[in-house]
Amino acid sequence: MELNRLHLMALLVIVLLGNNAQAARLSILPESQDAVAGNNFTISVMLDPEGSEVYGAQFSLIFDKTRIEALRIDKGTLLGTNTIEGVKSIDNTNGKVTYSLSRSGTSTGVNSSGTLAVVTLRGLNAGVTAINFANMIISSPNATEIPGTTSGGNVNVSGFVTPTSTIIQSTPTPAINQTSTETSSSGSTGSVYPTAVSKTTASPVIENNKLELTHPDSTVITLSPAGSVPEGGEFEVNVFIRSTEPVYGAELKLSFDNTFLEGINLEQGTFFGGSLVVNSVDNEKGEMTYAETRIGNVAGVKAKGILAKAVFRAKRAGSAAIQPKDIKLVNENEEVVKDVLYSGMDVTILKKTEEPRGADAVGGLWVLVALVVMGLSIKRM
């Protein structure tokens, strides 16, 4: 799939440039409706350019998670059939839906109003919930942000039903340490970068400190530092990347054992110097999601550096693994980088009583022995 990088940036990155475009408007249709607990219903996210030329848009919907839950997001017809979905996530734990859509294969936008997306929801508990917009970004064909306004809606739910678990839409999880990708014509859900389907390739687990040495011609991703941490303490994990071909954008997840570890945050590294696209922590699933891309008409990065920094808290004593997965790297031509090698890490969590003794502890022991000997000597006198 050939994508215009500049147009993709208009969707994925907030470029704060001054412009004289008129304000566009996002709204919900119907503005108000009734729903029954246990039954599905839909709302349409409408976009009116109001004189502007729109190439892409991104938004979040915030709702009361005790009243309704989101089930799916489908693209509308406003931006045409040749489009790319960027962020596409459903987080019922926090009552939030996030979605982005951009035109593709053309240099022009649209200036007519229509349906940007359709969201399917389900009623849970009796009561009224508002559905409001947040994090709105509307972009023009030349990658400038178009100012906009929003108008939310509300749903009146009758009845009661037990909610389902949180849904986070994402791509399939690879089960091995080598990724091999092929272009798919079926479309992508939840991926920031061009559509790719993971293939399972048999690959041995390789220790972090040996991965770069044993595969000098491959692009590799490793985690560091590994070792032991105290129970209850926080520690940082660096996501290192060594690219042997130019990389323009990256997307990955960190999977961890939430019995022993709690994800605190995921910070931007120094590898790209680009703009953060996705940065989220889901402790219920034991996953962190990260995606970043460079900005503008520049080449990809062919170097070694820190892609991201993750902070965890050790919840209880034991051993826990942290593993990269769902890795996607693309070059400046939006082509997927193939055969990326990666390796995870193990963390040993020590009980507070298991912390090793330092020099002061040893010195104290000798003082105690000396006092005992002195006491015995005095007693014999």
Q: Digits of tens for pLDDT over the chain (381 positions)? A: 444 454 444 444 433 333 344 689 999 999 999 999 889 999 999 999 999 999 999 999 999 999 999 999 999 999 999 888 888 889 999 999 999 999 988 889 999 999 999 999 999 999 999 999 998 999 898 878 899 899 999 999 997 654 443 333 333 333 334 444 333 333 333 333 333 222 223 233 334 446 567 778 889 998 988 678 999 999 999 999 999 999 988 999 999 999 999 999 888 888 987 665 677 899 999 999 988 888 777 888 999 999 999 999 999 999 999 999 999 999 888 889 988 888 888 899 998 764 444 444 444 444 343 434 344 443 444
Alpha-carbon torsion 136, 141, 146, 150, what sign?
negative
Per-residue confidence (pLDDT) for residue 13, from 0 to 100: 41
Please check whether the domain covering 5-160 is classified as CATH 3.40.50.11540: no
CA 39 to chain centre: 30
- Location of each CATH 2.60.40.680 domain in the chain: 5-160, 178-354
Per-residue confidence (pLDDT) for residue 210, from 0 to 100: 61
Per-residue confidence (pLDDT) for residue 338, from 0 to 100: 86
- Domain 178-354: give its CATH code: 2.60.40.680
Per-residue confidence (pLDDT) for residue 160, from 0 to 100: 62
Q: Contact at 8 Å (CB) between 52 and 99?
A: no
- For residue 66, the one-letter residue type is T
Per-residue confidence (pLDDT) for residue 154, from 0 to 100: 95
Question: H or E element: which one contains 380?
Answer: helix 359-380
Per-residue confidence (pLDDT) for residue 24, from 0 to 100: 92
Is beta strand 40-48 parallel, antiparallel or unpaired with respect to 114-123? Answer: antiparallel
Per-residue confidence (pLDDT) for residue 6, from 0 to 100: 43
Tokens of 4: 């215009």
DSSP count for the chain of H helices, then E strands: 3, 24
Q: Contact at 8 Å (CB) between 238 and 306?
A: yes
Contacts of 189 (CB under 8 A, 6+ apart): 85, 88, 169, 170, 171
* C-alpha–C-alpha distance, residues 100 and 138, integer Å: 10
Nearest to 343 by CA among 249, 237, 248: 237
Residue 39: count of CB within 10 angstroms of its CB: 13
Residue 361: count of CB within 10 angstroms of its CB: 10
Question: H or E element: which one contains 97?
Answer: strand 96-103
Per-residue confidence (pLDDT) for residue 70, from 0 to 100: 93
Half-sphere CA count of 361, side-chain side, radius 13 A: 4
C-alpha angle with apex 279: 151 to 307, nearest 5 degrees?
Answer: 145
